[in-house]
Structure 1
Amino acid sequence: MKILFDFLPIMLFFGMFKYAEGNKEWAASAATDWLGFIVAGGVVGQTEAPVLLATVVVIVATLAQILWLKSRGQKVDTMLWISLGLVTVLGAATIYFHSESFIKWKPTVLYWVMGVALLFGQVVLKKNGIQKLMGAQMKLPDPVWARVNLAWVGFFAAMGALNLWVAFNFSTVAWVNFKLFGGLGLMIAFVLAQAVVLNKYLQDPEKPL
């Protein structure tokens, strides 16, 4: 359930982009009416309108997530605050300059921030972020937790690089598809592969590393 909540802004971004892409005349008119006062030149064309409208939706959705958690007295993860900051700054640049290049950097920056945070925690602070997150659900030897943490560091580094490769070597439509289906699919595949590997340690905690 949590993964659906985490991916909700991306799903809404995808939905708005696809709708606007299929109704470009409406999208250009709506984007000009709604965003003209903060867009350079005051007019949004049909080419850039879908991604600009989708960007507004993802900013609002991310903010709504935080307000929802706050209203229920729940803790807002640091990464969600960082995500809001990134999507607001890069999204504002995308809207103002009529350029999707800025918002395309957002997933990469977020992936790399998460990877650096995990690596810094393990190497400098001697704290394992993944163990802290998942330690209540499973018991593993400390060396295994260290490997799991580094595996996530590598995954986030690779995902950040892959996002840039898709973003700047393929069409915006292809990137939007990858952002949802590729990102979610690779995340699920990585988690499942990791579960298979870790299962042997859960069954036999004394198993040699």
Structure 2
Amino acid sequence: MKFLADFFPIILFFVAYKLYGIYAATAVAIGASVIQVSYHWLRNRQVEKMHLITMVMLLVFGGLTLLLQDRTFIMWKPSVINWLFGAVFIGSHFIGEKPLAERMMGDAVRVPSPVWRRLNLAWGGFFVLLGLANLYVASFFFSAEAALTAQTGLAQIDLTSCGELFNGDELQMCLEMQSLEADWVNFKLFGMMGLTLAFVLLQAFYLARHMQDQEQLTEEN
């Protein structure tokens, strides 16, 4: 349940996108993130740092998306936030007595210190790669958008009105942009959630194996 709660703004973003388009979805995601943080504060008198950082990033990048009517900002947001998380994990490997992974889970799981350090670096690398994967998927849309804006001279393109604005090759280019935007939204939900879930499961198997080793070592001593 917590895993789904962490993805609450993304899930609502996806639903709103399918119904009303990317700008409405961005506004919904901002609202959902504010509600998420507010709920945790009212219930626990504290907020999770990941939720708080996500809210701030959504307010900045989502706000710019709505203000300038430019999808680029909201499409870059997942990469920036994942790279930020990656930097925090990797930085904690060198700063402080314990890496971040151990600080987060060390009270519930007992494994040797080297295991925590390897796992911490794995999380850092995972977030960096996830950010790159998002940018890779988004880059196809950016390329298609640049091609259409160069051909038409339009600074902004309303993808909901392709049939009204264009015909011929330009119409096909606009429809391709629609498809690529939808591909990015699908990746943002299903791709990122799926990759994160797979990584969490691999982490669980990795920790379980070393928990057994730690138990055997404790019994021998």
Bigger CA radius of gyration: 2
The 1-side partners of 2:43 and 2:95 are apart by 34
Which among 29, 32, 35 is matched to residue 61 of structure 1? 32
The 2-side partners of 1:73 and 1:134 are apart by 19
The 1-side partners of 2:70 and 2:139 are apart by 12
Query: 2:7 is matched by which residue type in structure 1?
Result: F
CA offsets, 1:100-155, max 9 Å, x none?
A: 11001111111111111111112122431111111122110000100000000010
- Number of residue pairs the alignment of both structures matches: 178
Structure 1 counterpart of 2:70: 99
Query: 2:135 is matched by which residue type in structure 1?
Result: L
Query: 2:38 is matched by which residue type in structure 1?
Result: L
Structure 1 counterpart of 2:200: 191
Structure 2 counterpart of 1:151: 122
1:168 Cα offset (Å): 1.6
**1:116 corresponds to 2:87:** yes
Runs of 4+ displaced beyond 3 Å: none
Unaligned runs of 5+ in 1: 21-49
TM alignment of 1:102-181, pairs within 5 A: 102-170=73-141, 171-181=180-190
The 2-side partners of 1:142 and 1:7 are apart by 30
The 1-side partners of 2:80 and 2:6 are apart by 17
1:7 Cα offset (Å): 0.3
The 2-side partners of 1:79 and 1:188 are apart by 16
SS at match of 1:204: helix
Structure 1 counterpart of 2:8: 8
1:61 Cα offset (Å): 0.3
1:97 Cα offset (Å): 1.7
Q: CA RMSD in A?
A: 1.4
Query: 2:39 is matched by which residue type in structure 1?
Result: W
Query: 1:129 is matched by which residue type in structure 2?
Result: L
Query: 1:190 is matched by which residue type in structure 2?
Result: F
1:56 Cα offset (Å): 0.2
TM alignment of 1:25-36, pairs within 5 A: none
1:96 Cα offset (Å): 1.8
Unaligned runs of 5+ in 2: 142-179
The 2-side partners of 1:172 and 1:194 are apart by 32
What is the TM-score of this pair, normalised by structure 2? 0.77
